Amino acid sequence: SNAAPPAGASLRKPKSWAGQLRVVQIVRETPTVLTFRLADPAADRLPFDFLPGQFLQVEVESEDGKAARRSYTIASSPTQRAYVELTVKREEQGVVSRHLHDKVSAGDLLKVSGPFGAFTFTGTDAQSIVLIAGGVGITPMMSVLRYLADTAWDGDIFFFYGARSTEEFVFRDEIERLERRFANLHVIAAMQRSPGTVWMGPEGPITREMILAAVPEIASRRIHMCGPPAMMGAMRTILAELGVPEAQVHTEAFGPASLPADASDLEVKPAPSPAQRPPPGSEVAPSTVTFSVSGVSAALPAEETVLEAAEGAGVEIPYACRVGQCGVCVVKLLEGEVTMAVETGLAPSDKEQGYVLACQAKGTGTPLVVEA
């Protein structure tokens, strides 16, 4: 059935899935942004669960025959069980976004894995929420907004949106409709320029004054941000000036996925050959890693990561960047201890719950058990 889960249903981390979904509809949102509606080709229900704010990874074959992967935040709400929607901006330099825009039509199958990501909000983690988005960085916020509206969440929602022009205001109609229907939703949109268009709102960037005027007691609220780097930087400064503790500011960990400017495709890096790996660290004893789901164990030399050991043992752990940035390779560590050189892609809350980045995790001499 398509029944909605209760408000703030569960904080359980949904299991990730990989397979093919069918493009059932393509909707043009703006001159450069399309929404792809994806559904299970064989069932009337999605084959996975997700939380508002999570993303999927799409893999396409580029012109030179190589696989190219790119992550896109899910814009639809998890209350919609029949399909997911990915809202994608066409980037001139983006192999995957150009393929999606230029080559894919309704009826096609897409290779998808996910959901991934810890940039989520379900209404259970705070009494109110401030969402700040720029450009196509609106997609994770849209999933949150739609979910909170569908579940009649009664906290205050302050939604700031900055776009270059009204033409590029993604989801404008829907946001205006939601604002009319939900008294607890406060929308503040600012357009960089709006010549020749009907725009009664503020022009220019989102400012300190706009935030101060719209949000009482900003310093006590939870903030979610997603947008181009320049905007995120400016907002961080403003929020710090307004006394918002950094721990309350959550940003899209997988930033480039949703950025309107300078977004380049995540290149799928080939697994390095053993010869390219750094020489063995002398202090850490070699150990073993057991993959609990696959029921496979493998040797784990000191210089090898859990991801490399998994690949050697034929256990599939999804990855993209291999350098600790994207968070795609996150797995749960059930036993043992690891070290990680880079943890940028790991949300602190996930780390607390025992998740590690497989591309970074190296053994410390004791046997590991990993959920994969």
List contacts with ligand FES (CB under 6 A): 319-322, 324-329, 345, 357, 359
CB 96 to ligand FES: min, Å: 16
Query: Please, what is the minimum distance in Å from the beta carbon of residue 324 to ligand FES?
Result: 5
The helix or strand, by DSSP H or E, that contains position 307, with its residue range, turns out to be helix 306-312
Shortest separation between residue 61's beta carbon and ligand FES, angstroms: 20
Eight-class DSSP state of 232: H
Instruction: Yes or no: say if 250 and 266 are a contact pair by the CB < 8 Å rule.
Output: no
41 Cα distance to chain centroid = 24
Whose Cβ is closer to ligand FES: residue 33's or residue 328's?
Answer: 328
Nearer to ligand FES, 239 or 315 (CB): 315
Nearer to ligand FES by Cβ, of 144 and 326: the residue is 326
Asked if residues 258 and 326 have their Cβ atoms less than 8 Å apart, the reply is: no
Least Å distance, CB 317 to ligand FES, is 9
What are the structure tokens assigned to 284, written together?
């850490």
Cβ-based nearer residue to ligand FES, 235 or 359: 359
- Minimum CB separation from ligand FES for residue 307, in Å? 7
* HSE (side-chain half, CA atoms, 13 Å) at 39: 15
Nearest-approach distance from CB 224 to ligand FES, in angstroms: 21
From the CB of residue 105, how many other CB atoms can be counted at a distance below 10 Å? Answer: 7
Task: For ligand FES, give the closer residue by CB, 114 or 135.
Answer: 114
Instruction: Tell me how crowded residue 295 is: count the other CB atoms within 10 A of its CB.
Output: 8
Residue closest to 369 by CA, chosen among 322, 335, 331, 343: 335
Residue 175: its H or E element: helix 172-181
Residue closer to ligand FES, measured from CB, 178 or 329 = 329
Q: How many C-beta neighbours within 10 Å does residue 24 have?
A: 16
